[in-house]
Amino acid sequence: MSIQQENIFQQIISHAKEYGFVFPSSEIYDGLSAVYDYGPYGVELKKNIRDYWWKSMTQMHENIVGIDAAIFMHPTTWKASGHVDNFSDPMIDNKDSKKRYRVDHLIEAKAEELNNAGKNEEANHLLNKMEELLAAENFTELKALIDEYKISCSISGTSNWTDIRQFNLMFKTEFGAVASDNPDDNIVYLRPETAQGIFVNFLNVQKTARMKIPFGIAQTGKAFRNEIVARQFIFRMREFEQMEMQFFVRPGTEGEWYKFWKEERLKWHLSLGISPEKYRYHDHVKLAHYAKEACDIEFNFPIGFKEVEGIHSRSDFDLTQHQLYSKKKQQYFDNDIDPTTGKPYGNYVPYVVETSIGLDRMFLLVLSNAFEEEVITKEDGTTDSRTVLHIPTKIAPVKLAILPLLKKDGLPEIAKQLLDECKPYFKCFYEEKDAIGKRYRRQDAIGTPFCVTIDHQTKEDNTVTIRYRDSMKQERIALSSIKQLILNEL
Ligand code: ATP
């Protein structure tokens, strides 16, 4: 990351704290690493992103329904899903600094260093080699690669590394107070992904909502991972929220559905008005053994292009595993006619294409995309500056700020009438203190797209000044048109 990028990232983090978006968790006790709390504007923005996703899935697609599964699940779930045995990252420790690194992060950082030095070919070679060795889980050669490129620890500066080992990322806790001879009997995990709550409810949902394949189940909720390298603000957290959708399809059709969802999900991002140049796909070379195809949607964060969402074609792996471990059939009877046989497709375990996005990561994406330190040239040629969040109106925490110019002469009364008229429809903010310019700046900083000022002229002709956040343009319009103007933007 360049110094300039690092600076922007730090500015966003400070801004998020100063304006009530994101606070470090339990800050009065010096915080808890990689855990964060959302403040008054943060919680609104987060909810709006979640709602926007939820609506796009469950309302805009007739064949997708939602569930809300518990965080705790029967521990066998995680045996069946492979998380107990395989949900781990290869890690390496520097013996001098005692600092632990994720092997892929360590090598990627080296590749970036090479890229910055103009050695792009060498960087690509290193990354390709890494992907190949990670796919083969060949840790001996991976370690040799670290040695070959003389990769060193950023703290100790040495290349005195331990062997590479796997670390499981699931949090464990004890369940109930029943004494047992086997301590493992009481162990439950905090779910590391929401998807398994969908898989184990596949038949409950299919039967009760009378769904016909192809159909999807959507869910949003907390997930927990004991990330070893947990830095970078809310990009990588130990407690975070996912928005996942599992789409169940007839075997043999997964290729076309994978393609469909890959495109559909990027369209969702672009529907927020974010520039397509800031996005790219990253197709996976290293596939999980059950996966048929997988890609990430990456966004150009201030920390570089990084994954915000994954689209995975998971075959029938999960349902088959649950069938095996639970000894309960996870099949669907498809009575559509197969044209090749002239008979119904019959019973099968459906294939799954999933879309999985981190809500917190999407939140960071929105903040990063919105944040601007803008220099304004005034009419007299002098300059001024403002910090503004260009958050899309649809998801902005506050849509309208209502600002009486003075705290007297009946202006607050008119303003409060407007507030009463609008607040059942969208989030408003009312403020009568401070100079108007200062109030505008505060609204810019939290990303409020519209400010309305009520002044003495309002009393005469029922017009108000509306100010647009992005252009800072102001115009006089009828007081009675405000509500509809904003509703049109939503
Ligand atoms: P990464 O490679 O960044 O660790 P992943 O490939 O393990 O991510 P998935 O298991 O595919 O991620 O999870 C789906 C989505 O959940 C990710 O695209 C990301 O947006 C989000 N996510 C995963 N881990 C975290 C985390 N620790 N903090 C915040 N969001 C996360």
| Element counts in the chain: helices (H) and strands (E) | 16, 23
- Do residues 110 and 69 share a domain? no
The residue out of 109, 144, 168 marking a domain boundary is 168
Q: Rounded to the nearest whole angstrom, what is the distance from the C-alpha of residue 74 to the centroid of ligand 1? A: 23
pLDDT given for residue 230 in this prediction: 67
pLDDT given for residue 315 in this prediction: 94
- Do residues 215 and 272 share a domain? yes
- State how far the Cα of 276 lies from the Cα of 282, in Å rounded to an integer: 14
- Do residues 444 and 336 share a domain? no
Q: Is 244 exposed, middle or buried (0-12, 13-18, 19+ CB in 10 A)?
A: buried
Indicate if ligand 1 lies below 6 Å from the C-beta of 206.
no
Indicate if ligand 1 lies below 6 Å from the C-beta of 242.
yes
Domain annotation covers residue 218: yes
Domain annotation covers residue 379: no
Domain annotation covers residue 317: yes
8 A C-beta contact, residue 298 and residue 308: yes
- Do residues 334 and 214 share a domain? yes
How many residues make up the chain in this entry?
Answer: 490
Domain annotation covers residue 386: no
pLDDT tens digits, 85-134: 888 889 999 999 998 898 988 999 999 899 999 999 999 999 989 988 88
8 A C-beta contact, residue 122 and residue 114: yes
Series of mean pLDDT values for 10-residue runs along the chain (490 residues): 81 97 96 95 98 98 97 95 89 91 90 91 91 86 94 92 92 78 79 97 96 97 87 92 98 96 98 97 83 94 95 96 96 94 95 98 98 89 92 97 91 94 96 92 97 93 95 94 93
In the numeric block, the tokens 């990253």 are attached to: 282
Query: Which neighbouring-strand residues pair with 380?
Result: none
The residue out of 107, 138, 168 marking a domain boundary is 168
- State how far the Cα of 102 lies from the Cα of 227, in Å rounded to an integer: 9
Structural domain harbouring 418:
398-489
Question: Dihedral of CA 371/377/379/380: which sign?
Answer: positive
In the numeric block, the tokens 């008005």 are attached to: 273
Domain annotation covers residue 254: yes
- Do residues 205 and 353 share a domain? yes
- Do residues 329 and 298 share a domain? yes
Indicate if ligand 1 lies below 6 Å from the C-beta of 245.
no
In the numeric block, the tokens 């903040």 are attached to: 367
Q: Rounded to the nearest whole angstrom, what is the distance from the C-alpha of residue 54 to the centroid of ligand 1? A: 19
- Do residues 234 and 346 share a domain? yes
8 A C-beta contact, residue 365 and residue 299: yes
Domain annotation covers residue 214: yes
Indicate if ligand 1 lies below 6 Å from the C-beta of 295.
no
- Do residues 67 and 129 share a domain? no
β-strand 450-454 against 474-478: which pairing, if any? unpaired
- CATH code for the domain in which residue 223 is found: 3.30.930.10
- Do residues 286 and 360 share a domain? yes
Q: How far is CA 136 from the centre of its chain?
A: 29
DSSP symbols for 363-410? HHHHHHHHEEEEEEE-TTS-EEEEEEE---GGG-S-SEEEEESSSSTT
- Do residues 191 and 275 share a domain? yes
Domain annotation covers residue 240: yes
Name the helix (H) or strand (E) containing 146. helix 139-148
8 A C-beta contact, residue 430 and residue 445: no
Domain annotation covers residue 83: no
pLDDT given for residue 158 in this prediction: 93
pLDDT tens digits, 243-259: 999 999 999 999 999 99
Q: What's the number of domains the chain is made of?
A: 3
- Do residues 134 and 271 share a domain? no
- CATH code for the domain in which residue 405 is found: 3.40.50.800
- State how far the Cα of 232 lies from the Cα of 33, in Å rounded to an integer: 11
For the chain, the straight-line distance linking the first and the last C-alpha, in angstroms and rounded, comes to 36
- Do residues 58 and 107 share a domain? no
pLDDT tens digits, 43-74: 999 999 999 999 999 999 999 999 999 999 99
- State how far the Cα of 66 lies from the Cα of 45, in Å rounded to an integer: 21
The residue out of 168, 197, 229 marking a domain boundary is 168
Pocket test for ligand 1, best of 131, 169, 229, 240 (most atoms within 8 A of CB): 240
Residue 248 token pair: 């169940």
Residue 278's Cβ-side half-sphere holds a number of Cα atoms within 13 Å equal to 17
Indicate if ligand 1 lies below 6 Å from the C-beta of 315.
no
Indicate if ligand 1 lies below 6 Å from the C-beta of 241.
no
Q: Rounded to the nearest whole angstrom, what is the distance from the C-alpha of residue 358 to the centroid of ligand 1? A: 6
Residue (of 244, 489, 483) closest to 357 by Cα position: 244
pLDDT given for residue 250 in this prediction: 97
- CATH code for the domain in which residue 157 is found: 3.30.40.230
